[in-house]
Amino acid sequence: MSATAIELLPVPSSSIAEIPSLVAGLRTTFDSGRTRPLSWRRTQLEALLRFVKENGDALVAALQADLGKPELEAWAADIGQVTTEAKLALKNLKKWTRPESAGAVPLMGKSFIMREPLGVVLIIAPWNYPIGLLLSPLVGAIAAGNTVVLKPSEVTAHTSAILAERLPDYLDTDAIALVEGGVPETSALLEQRFDHIMYTGNGSVAKVIMEAAAKNLTPITLELGGKSPCIVDRTADLAVAARRIAWGKFMNAGQTCIAPDYILVEESIEEELIAELEKSVEEFYSGETQENPDYTRIVNSRHHERISQLMEGQEIAFGGATRAEDCYIEPTVLRNVSPDSPIMQSEIFGPVLPVLRVKDVDEAIGFVNQGEKPLALYLFSADASTEERVLSSTSSGGVTVNGTIMHLANAKMPFGGVGPSGMGAYHGKHSFETFSHRKSVLRRGFRFDIKMMYPPYTKRRTEMAKKML
């Protein structure tokens, strides 16, 4: 399917009136103990794998209809997240759920930590990777033994529709439910009491979710974003760096929460880096992105207009073409960008890459630290001391050195933000931990019962206790 074949659907919706009873039903299921056995968890995870395998082509078609995603990107960067997470959870489920010894306390007993499910959880997903960012967290919630409400984005209506239609055929619908819709449906969900809420999206909505969660003291995990910087120093292999930056930035038309948002490059190599970036884009798309099936579209006209306005008044090094009728924006690199310009004030979330000159890496570190902590940071350098300096002097959710995006691919590492870029983390065992409570247990026997612990607290007993402490 061509990248231009984007069609709009009406905003999908579920019955708002039925949401309270739906959540109540999930709580009844959880309270029954149905989701606690490992056999139930395995059955659901295996069913999720079957869902992806048997409906892969339909899921790709939905992603192409919503975003114009190339088939390879749809599988590798979106759908593939689910299979990776589910297989890892199935392999390690018994180990993850095994009680963890916390050692023995003299005269007190043995201690251990149990993982128990939290209860009913809500997962709210964004539109940029509408399958992976909905179903990957679901893996962790299932593995931990919870019941779940899934809320896909209404912006990617085709994907939401296919999930709502087919997912119930595979999963236990008494324990896992999907609610479609926009703000009204999400607001109705947030009026319910949940035991955990996970939201992936932007900071403004995150504040609304935090406020709603606070009413019930519901813990939350927030996967947000921010302006993820890319630092390039003079020791970097610029041809390789440019390819990796261009790939990370222009994949999904820049609509990736950890895409490089801007480049800080040592001034002596700025021109060469821009030239290599242009060469990389030329090679990737054979010099033509407007009708290229390997290049994604902007999700809707509102975002297209927003990104187009950010480009106004900027000096374009290459690219810059737009076409409103099919939400197309050409891969674009900007030069001589002022740090005070509108494009540097918020996450771009589109295929526009500002390049800013710095004298050296120390100036780049200072620039990064003046802003909010980003979700990701990228460094291109062949110098080990520079790498150490950047890693130890900056704070970000994650880092890839001499690459972009790829730290996300290791499911054994936690993925999450820090400060305004998010709170909490998931992926692999970290997803299981996010949706579990670590319950501390001390087991004592009846054989030893030390009377000095009990009143009356005589002087002698007090002195003995002081010596033991």
11 band by pLDDT with thresholds 50, 70 and 90: low
Other C-beta atoms within 10 Å of 437: how many? 15
1 band by pLDDT with thresholds 50, 70 and 90: very low
Rg, C-alpha atoms of the chain: 25
pLDDT for 228: 98
pLDDT of residue 401 exceeding 90: yes
Average pLDDT, integer, range 264-280: 98
pLDDT for 13: 75
Average pLDDT, integer, range 48-54: 98
* CATH T-level fold of 16-224+419-442: Aldehyde Dehydrogenase; Chain A, domain 1 (3.40.605)
pLDDT for 227: 97
pLDDT of residue 7 exceeding 70: no
pLDDT for 115: 97
The one catalytic residue among 180, 185, 230, 257:
257
327 flagged as catalytic: no
pLDDT for 3: 40
Least confident of 102-111, 274-283, 454-463: 102-111
Other C-beta atoms within 10 Å of 394: how many? 19
- DSSP 8-state symbol, 426: B
Cβ(144)–Cβ(118) below 8 Å: yes
pLDDT for 246: 98
Q: What is the mean pLDDT of the chain?
A: 95
Helix boundaries (H) for 68-131: 71-73, 80-97
Average pLDDT, integer, range 28-55: 98
CATH of 229-409, picked from 3.40.50.300, 2.40.110.10, 3.50.50.60, 3.40.309.10, is: 3.40.309.10
pLDDT for 467: 85
pLDDT for 125: 98
Q: Alpha carbon of 182 to those of 11, 19, 131, 149, 302: distances in Å?
A: 7, 14, 17, 15, 15
pLDDT of residue 5 exceeding 60: no
Average pLDDT, integer, range 285-296: 93
Pairwise CA distance, residues 234 & 358, whole Å: 11
Q: Find where tokens 């939905």 sit.
A: 62
> CA-based angle 362:368:371, to the nearest 5?
145
Encode pLDDT of 146-181 as tens digits.
999 999 999 999 999 999 999 999 999 999 999 999
- Decide the pairing of beta strands 120-124 and 196-200: parallel
pLDDT for 237: 98
Q: Alpha carbon of 18 to those of 26, 359, 446: distances in Å?
A: 13, 59, 51
- Omega of the bond prior to 293 within 30 degrees of 0, cis? no
The one catalytic residue among 73, 154, 180, 223:
223
- DSSP 8-state symbol, 152: -
8 band by pLDDT with thresholds 50, 70 and 90: low
Pairwise CA distance, residues 104 & 98, whole Å: 18
Pairwise CA distance, residues 395 & 378, whole Å: 12
The rounded percent of the chain whose pLDDT value lies above 90 is: 90
Average pLDDT, integer, range 334-357: 97
The rounded percent of the chain whose pLDDT value lies above 70 is: 97
Encode pLDDT of 80-98 as tens digits.
999 999 999 999 999 999 9
Quote the pTM value: 0.94
Least confident of 167-171, 349-353, 397-401, 407-411: 407-411
pLDDT of residue 4 exceeding 90: no
Cβ(35)–Cβ(147) below 8 Å: yes
Torsion, Cα of 154, 180, 127, 212 (10° steps): 100
Encode pLDDT of 106-146 as tens digits.
767 899 999 999 999 999 999 999 999 999 999 999 999 99
Reading across the β-sheet that carries 100-105, which strands appear in turn? 100-105, 109-117, 436-443
pLDDT of residue 363 exceeding 90: yes
Encode pLDDT of 200-214 as tens digits.
999 999 999 999 999
What tokens does 60 get?
């790709």
Beta-ladder partners of 220:
197
CA-CA-CA-CA torsion sign (147, 53, 5, 290): positive
Average pLDDT, integer, range 433-460: 90
Other C-beta atoms within 10 Å of 467: how many? 7
What tokens does 10 get?
């009406």
Average pLDDT, integer, range 377-397: 98
CB crowding 218-227: b at 16 or more within 10 Å, else e: bbbbbbbbbb
Domain coordinates in residue numbering, the chain: 16-224+419-442, 229-409
